[in-house]
């Protein structure tokens, strides 16, 4: 099962644009239950605003500006 936010997550667009590595998708978004460990997922679940360039491991990717 993939992350519940999979289809609407900004990560999909960044992948298509080649701005983030697809290893994030393999490691988190589509990996059985590991999406629960994603910082984006956890903040989303709590309704806490977070920037689009926040990566699943909690680091900010400054090279992504939007």
Question: Using CB under 6 A as the criterion, which residues of the chain lie in contact with ligand SF4 when the complex forms?
Answer: 3, 5-6, 9, 11, 28-29, 35, 38, 40-41, 44, 56
Minimum Å distance from CB 62 to ligand SF4? 17
CA dihedral sign of residues 15, 18, 22, 23: negative
CA–CA gap between residue 27 and residue 31 (Å, rounded)? 6
Minimum Å distance from CB 66 to ligand SF4? 15
Minimum Å distance from CB 43 to ligand SF4? 9
By beta-carbon proximity to ligand SF4, the closer residue of 9 and 53 is: 9
In angstroms, the Cα distances linking 52 to 2, 32, 33 are 19, 23, 21
């Amino acid at each position: 099962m993939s992350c519940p936010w999979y289809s609407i997550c900004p990560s999909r667009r960044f992948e298509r644009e080649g701005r983030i590595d697809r290893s994030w998708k393999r490691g988190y978004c589509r990996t059985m239950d590991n999406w629960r460990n994603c910082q984006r997922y956890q903040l989303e679940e709590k309704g806490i605003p977070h920037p689009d360039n926040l990566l699943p491991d909690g680091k900010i990717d400054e090279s992504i500006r939007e």
